[in-house]
Structure 1
Amino acid sequence: MVVGAGIVGLAHAVEAVGRGLSVLVVERDDRAVGASVRNFGHGCFTAQDGEALTYAFTARERWIQLAKEADFWLRESGTVVVARAEDEQQVLEDFAQVRDGHARLLDRDAVLARVPANPDEVLGGAFLPQDIRVDPREAVPAIARWYAEQRGAHVAWSTTVQGFEAGSGVTLVRTSRGDVVATKVILAVGHDVDRFFPETARTAGVQRCTLQMLRVDAPAGAAGGPREIDPAIFTGTSMLRYNGFRLSPALTAVRERLTAQHPALIDAAVNLMVTQRPDGTLTLGDTHAYATTPGPFHPEALDELLLTEAARLFATGPLTVRERWQGVYASAPAPFLNATPMPGVRAVSVTSGIGMTTALGLAPRVLDSFL
């Protein structure tokens, strides 16, 4: 049994069925509505480091194959990292030296040819060609539908897991639709692991990270419609979020300068980045706040901060907002939770905000050690 039909749960279900197992996915809602559909739809493979980098590039190939099999939109569009200061350009130069062709330096004109950044601010940048984009609102449901059509695959939507009991070589899972016996259980409920195994969550330091995001109209193109922006767009704040950039000694200077010049960005832990959806609108974000139990209120000042910084990045007037939402994901000191809270049950969560990037590569490693 896999508990949770977000991208982490589906990754394990797809992998297990591919190994010839009979798998039941149980999901409390009638569709995925959490972190897996509230994100940028960005496969941020190149900027990872350590085990996350390994999982990411395994996931890349699986995303491309799944897009063909499950028939959803995917763009091998890469990412443009815009450098607007000398220290940011130095970080990119250091990064490109160790990424073996996976990061190509760009001059100012090459950046402006790819993204509609403010010409007065751009010094240079880098292109990360291995990164991809999907529409998470389409891709995750498409994977769930495709999975349900596979031999040995079963999905129980609108079904709540109420508890687990260890048996002799099996686990009894009590659900709102009756009891189920499973030989193995993958608990892939993201930040809600504490609802089932609070001590496991406490030991791992799991909290909830909430983030504010928006969907806005793109700057106008030459023909008057929305400008097509193929790559994802990173900025200097993105360098502070992704571990791959930490190899550069210049990253300290980036943080110190942004703290002095734009303290609001640092206080809100902003990752100013943009991806374009298939309809031409842009996903814009994001802020980060951490708590075991986040408050329900959505500060408008944070949305205004994102909108102001995006307008500065693009040198446009006020951006038209089409949607606003709050994302939430599991956060912990370690990037991944892979724990066994009781015999026969493995709690798995991506605790670093990179579930879409790594889950399809993490799942094979988890199952190798668990089955």
Structure 2
Amino acid sequence: MSIATTPSAAASSPASFADLPRGRSDLVVVGAGIIGLAHAFEAVRRGLGVTVVERDHRSVGASVRNFGHCCVTAQRGSQLELALRSRSGWLDAAARAGLWLSEAGALVVARSATELAVLEELREERGADAVRLRTRDEVAEALGRATDAREDLVGGALLPADLRVDPRRAAPRPADWLARQPGVHITWGTNVVGTEPGTVHTSRGPVHGERILLCVGHDLDRLHPREAEAHGVERCRLSMARVEAPGPLRTDAAVLSATSMLRYDAFTAMPSAGRLRAEVAAHSPELLNIVANVMFTRLPDGSLLAGDSHAYGVTETPFQDEATSRLLLREVARVLGVPEVRVTQRWQGVYASSTRGPLLLRDVAPGVRALSVTSGIGMTLSFGLAAATFEGTLTTQD
């Protein structure tokens, strides 16, 4: 599916809460998560008219329930290329929409020689500019650790290309900006019940567009169950929490741990990655049992978004396991070198996941494309995917 590059006539006034646009847009995007909004941003950048249809009255899905971490350096291959392009898109979107964004990077903490070996190997592959090794004392200083709480640190690495946004504003703020642009119409509280070439059928009536893009994440099975089943789409459920700002913490970087290195392709491709998994399995098998990624990111007010665990199923359970939450918070406290962290909020994250690949990309009808990130890195790839979509460089799985 290629998207028109010549703008057509489109609605020129901001959408009211429930109104549908008159006429025909160049692009109709279903879903106001960050993937859909990134494509709307790219459409506007190219002078195209776009309509966004969202079933909820505000962004409440995967795009606001995450760390707000654009995990650029830890990607590999084509995903690294998309992530680097996405980084540029995030910087542009932040400047246009007034979105808070931090270029402080990510700090990967090493608490064993094996963990440090993985980081050293990645530095050898990517270069010292992309992976900046840090000494034990430098990591301790960044974490604000007291002298008597440094014994388990051996070093770490700063990944300067990584970005941070506030996930609670990373979708709403761009949506507000888009709604003010000529040729853009965003309709909230409107459920999509079906699609056909040129038309999106909604609970409020039809919406027409030259091209249609379905960016509904794990909810693709609500509209196109066969395509979702063919890709093995499941819902990945996460245990996450917001904790009070730990006073000593000095770094504004996202902070990752050994379990993070077991989650991302750039690390798992390193020669020492197998040894690292065996090491974690020996001393902390409970972390592997909950598929942990022990990490945290800092919000502008200093509080931390901390987590997370991973549990998979076609339908997610609504129940959170307190033992899992306590385990994650204990590990976050250990990385910080503090006795405990104080929780102010808990929630269940959710995103699309598949063992068959990180990206679902299918043309479900002429001019109708489904696009879901199925690996938990939607924030990271969003704007890169949008650019590639308009350039026609993404390969569909038809």
Q: Fold conserved (TM > 0.5)?
A: yes
- Code of the residue aligned with 2:371 in structure 1: it is V
Cα distance change of structure 1 residues 315 and 370 upon mapping to structure 2, 3 Å threshold? closer
Matches within 5 A, 1:120-139: 120-139=151-170
Aligned to 2:19: none
- Which one of the candidate residues 9, 13, 23 is aligned to 2:40? 13
For residue 363 of structure 2, give the secondary structure of its aligned residue in structure 1. strand
Q: 2-side partners of 1:291 and 1:30: how far apart?
A: 26
- Which one of the candidate residues 247, 255, 272 is aligned to 1:233? 255
Contact in 2 for aligned 1:42/1:132 (Cα 8 Å)? yes
Contact in 2 for aligned 1:338/1:346 (Cα 8 Å)? yes
Q: 1-side partners of 2:196 and 2:269: how far apart?
A: 46
- Which one of the candidate residues 309, 316, 335 is aligned to 2:358? 335
- Code of the residue aligned with 1:111 in structure 2: it is V
Aligned to 1:96: 123
For residue 334 of structure 1, give the secondary structure of its aligned residue in structure 2. coil
Q: 2-side partners of 1:254 and 1:370: how far apart?
A: 36
- Code of the residue aligned with 2:377 in structure 1: it is I
- Which one of the candidate residues 315, 336, 343 is aligned to 2:337? 315
- Which one of the candidate residues 169, 175, 178 is aligned to 1:147? 178
Aligned to 1:347: 370
Q: 1-side partners of 2:310 and 2:369: how far apart?
A: 28
Q: 1-side partners of 2:144 and 2:362: how far apart?
A: 44
Q: 2-side partners of 1:195 and 1:153: how far apart?
A: 26
How far did residue 247 of structure 1 move? Answer: 2.5
- Code of the residue aligned with 2:263 in structure 1: it is R
Per-residue CA deviations over 1:147-185 (Å, capped at 9, x if unaligned) read: 11222111011111111234xxxx222111111222110
- Structure 1's consecutive aligned runs of 4 or more residues displaced over 4 angstroms after TM superposition are none
1:369 has 2:397 as partner: no
- Code of the residue aligned with 2:84 in structure 1: it is F
Aligned to 1:106: 134
Matches within 5 A, 1:28-177: 28-100=55-127, 101-116=129-144, 118-166=149-197, 171-177=198-204
Structure 1-normalised TM-score?
0.95
Aligned to 1:224: none
- Code of the residue aligned with 1:335 in structure 2: it is P
Contact in 2 for aligned 1:94/1:247 (Cα 8 Å)? no
- Code of the residue aligned with 2:242 in structure 1: it is R
Q: 1-side partners of 2:393 and 2:224: how far apart?
A: 18
1:276 has 2:303 as partner: no
Contact in 1 for aligned 2:141/2:250 (Cα 8 Å)? no
Segments of 5+ residues of structure 1 without an aligned counterpart are 222-226
- Code of the residue aligned with 1:52 in structure 2: it is Q
How far did residue 315 of structure 1 move? Answer: 2.3
How far did residue 71 of structure 1 move? Answer: 0.6
CA RMSD of aligned residues (A): 1.4
Q: 2-side partners of 1:203 and 1:35: how far apart?
A: 22
Contact in 2 for aligned 1:338/1:366 (Cα 8 Å)? no
- Code of the residue aligned with 1:285 in structure 2: it is G
How far did residue 370 of structure 1 move? Answer: 9.0
Comparing 116-125 and 342-351, the one that deviates more: 116-125
How far did residue 341 of structure 1 move? Answer: 1.4
Q: 1-side partners of 2:103 and 2:268: how far apart?
A: 25
Structure 2-normalised TM-score?
0.89
Contact in 2 for aligned 1:209/1:328 (Cα 8 Å)? yes
Q: 2-side partners of 1:315 and 1:125: how far apart?
A: 15
How far did residue 22 of structure 1 move? Answer: 1.1
How far did residue 303 of structure 1 move? Answer: 0.4
Q: 1-side partners of 2:393 and 2:225: how far apart?
A: 21
- Code of the residue aligned with 2:251 in structure 1: it is I
- Code of the residue aligned with 1:28 in structure 2: it is R
Aligned to 1:259: 281
Per-residue CA deviations over 1:252-284 (Å, capped at 9, x if unaligned) read: 011011111101100000000011111111110
Q: 1-side partners of 2:182 and 2:169: how far apart?
A: 23
Q: 2-side partners of 1:296 and 1:95: how far apart?
A: 38
Per-residue CA deviations over 1:67-103 (Å, capped at 9, x if unaligned) read: 1111121111011110001111100000011112210
Cα distance change of structure 1 residues 189 and 370 upon mapping to structure 2, 3 Å threshold? farther
How far did residue 364 of structure 1 move? Answer: 1.6
Per-residue CA deviations over 1:209-231 (Å, capped at 9, x if unaligned) read: 0100000113223xxxxx44311
Aligned to 2:12: none
- Code of the residue aligned with 2:295 in structure 1: it is M
Q: 1-side partners of 2:291 and 2:236: how far apart?
A: 11
For residue 30 of structure 1, give the secondary structure of its aligned residue in structure 2. coil
How far did residue 123 of structure 1 move? Answer: 0.3
How far did residue 342 of structure 1 move? Answer: 1.6
Contact in 1 for aligned 2:34/2:170 (Cα 8 Å)? no
